[in-house]
Each structure stands twice: as C-alpha cells, then as structure tokens.
Amino acid sequence: MRPLTVIGNWKMNGSIAGNAIWIEAVCSEMEKGMPAGRRYGVCPPYPFLAQCGGLIQSCSLAPLSLGAQDVSAEQLGPFTGEVSAAMLSEFGCTYVLVGHSERRDRYNESDQLVAEKALQVLDHGMTPIICVGETADERNSGRAVEVVRGQVAKQVAILQDRLADSLIAYEPVWAIGTGKVASAQIAQDMHREIRLQLAEFDADVASHVGILYGGSVKPDNAVELFAMPDIDGGLIGGASLDPQEFLAICRA
Ligand code: 13P
C-alpha cells in the first residue's frame, strides 16, 4: 500500500515570525492525532530551514517532516547561490522538490538537470519529489500525455530502479495558482498514465512510487482527488500557507 503523502510548498513566502506561528499551529494540532498511515511535510524557503527544522524537532510527536524546494545538481564548489543535497540533509530535510514547473519555466531547467538533481537527493538519503506537468497550450492541443510521458521517460532512463525511492508530483501548469483544479478524473487519468509508463519499466517500481497531485488543491476538493486509486496525496501551494487549510487537506 502506498501511504497518502501531503506536502506543503510555501514557494517564496514566509517570515521568521509567521513561520513560528504556522509551525506551532500545525504541530499542536497534529500532536492531538492524525489519520494513520499518512506522511506530511512542509517545504519552506532555504533561509528558514534551520528555524523550521528546529521548531518541528521540538514538537517531536507531530508527524511533520521538513523539505526543501530545490537543490543543486552539483556536489560542492564554485556554484554561487546554489545549495547542495549534503547541506539539505544536514538541516534535516526528508523531502526535496525537483523540477517544479516554476523552475523549469523561469530557470530553463531541463529533464536531464532535474534527474541529476534527483540523483543528488537520493545519494544523500532523502526523497526527491519529481514534478512533471503540461501547460495549457500543450493540453489544448491534445499533447498532454505525450509531454508528461516525455518528462517521465527521462527520469526513468536516468534514475532507473532508484525511482522506487522517489515521489512524482503531477502538477498541470494550468492548474497551479489559478484556482482551476484538474477534475479528479483528469488527474486520475494522467496519474494512471504515469503508473502504466513506470510499469513498462518495472511493475514493482510502478506499484511503489507515490504519485502526488498538485495544482489548486483546497480542503473542498482534496477529498475527491485523494480518493482516486492512483492519486497518492498532494503537493499544496497557496493553501499550505494557511495552517488551518493545510491541516484540513492533511485530514482529507
Ligand atoms: P497551488 O496549490 O498554489 O496551485 O500551487 C501548486 C504548486 O505549485 C505546488 O508545488
């Protein structure tokens, strides 16, 4: 059985004072008890990892893990502005997002680079969350499956059976931050497609890899999405900034 996984991606939001309020609100509720067999994580911006990691550690009963939003594909050295997987591991990260569409689009990240980043994350004992998804134009021209298959194919080619220790997030670009959530059936169809593609490589890997949905997930649509057989949780942007909304999605 694949555990349901809910990850908050704060993107470039947060502040020292606001983070403390968020972690205290979420952890104190989580310590009262959460549905069994689920995993939860939050990905603050890099400068807040130490603060958020420390606060999460001090509420040891809350089942909340720390994650990062990106990582360098390099190990160490003259790469100004980059952050290595070894550093993220030292800060206690469990999850690392790679290939978010905002990075693919604005910083020209290729499938090759995304896979190299995922390898760094795996080499340091953390779980990469590999983001894939098509744009509105690609969907409207009937190429959604082809585009997502192309993105997944590169990950399969490079990561091979190490994919079993990864998560994939299907985030249609047209649904991110737009309020236009993919219908549960559209999301399920693409998740199924991704799982079938993984099965062409290895049936065991396909049955193990959690595939999360991301894009305008809110408390009122999470229940239907998470009930789908190939949707194994969510990657939550805007709604994860509000502790009560995030908790409601975690319980969905
Ligand atoms: P929204 O939930 O704000 O649409 O963002 C989704 C996302 O990009 C999570 O990584």
Whether pLDDT at 85 is above 90: yes
Strands (E), the chain: 4-9, 38-43, 64-68, 93-98, 127-132, 167-170, 210-214, 233-236
Q: pLDDT value at position 221?
A: 97
Residue nearest to atom 9 of ligand 1 (CA): 237
Which residue among the candidates 102, 134, 171, 245 is catalytic per the annotation?
Answer: 171
CATH of 4-30+37-238, picked from 3.40.50.10130, 3.40.50.1820, 3.20.20.70, 3.20.20.100, is 3.20.20.70
* Ligand 1: nearest atom to the Cα of 176: 4
Whether pLDDT at 146 is above 80: yes
Is 116 an active-site residue?
no
Q: Is the CB of 238 under 6 A from ligand 1?
A: yes
Which residue among the candidates 100, 124, 191, 245 is catalytic per the annotation?
Answer: 100
Q: Is the CB of 210 under 6 A from ligand 1?
A: no
Q: What is the reported pTM?
A: 0.98
Q: pLDDT value at position 1?
A: 77
What share of the chain in percent tops pLDDT 90? 97
* Ligand 1: nearest atom to the Cα of 175: 4
Ligand 1 centroid–CA 9 distance in Å is 7
| Three-class SS state of 38 | strand
Return the amino acid letter for 80: T
Q: pLDDT value at position 178?
A: 93
- Residue spans of the domains in the chain: they are 4-30+37-238
Is 100 an active-site residue?
yes
Task: Please state the separation of Cα 163 from the chain's center in Å.
Answer: 14
Q: Is the CB of 70 under 6 A from ligand 1?
A: no
**Which one of 235, 241, 245 would you pick to mutate in the ligand 1 pocket, going by the greatest count of ligand atoms within 8 A of its CB?**
235
Ligand 1 centroid–CA 216 distance in Å is 6
Return the amino acid letter for 179: G
Give the tens place of pLDDT for each residue, 180-220: 999 999 999 999 999 999 999 999 999 999 999 999 999 99
Whether pLDDT at 64 is above 90: yes
Give the tens place of pLDDT for each residue, 7-57: 999 999 999 999 999 999 999 999 999 998 899 999 999 999 999 999 999
Q: Is the CB of 9 under 6 A from ligand 1?
A: yes
Q: pLDDT value at position 60?
A: 85
Q: pLDDT value at position 147?
A: 98
Q: What is the mean pLDDT of residues 93-114?
A: 98
* Ligand 1: nearest atom to the Cα of 238: 3
Mean pLDDT over each residue of the chain, to the nearest integer: 97
Strands (E), 69-194: 93-98, 127-132, 167-170
Q: Is the CB of 214 under 6 A from ligand 1?
A: yes
- Report which secondary-structure segment, H or E, holds 210: strand 210-214
Whether pLDDT at 161 is above 80: yes
Q: Nearest 10 degrees: CA dihedral of 46, 44, 5, 242?
A: -170
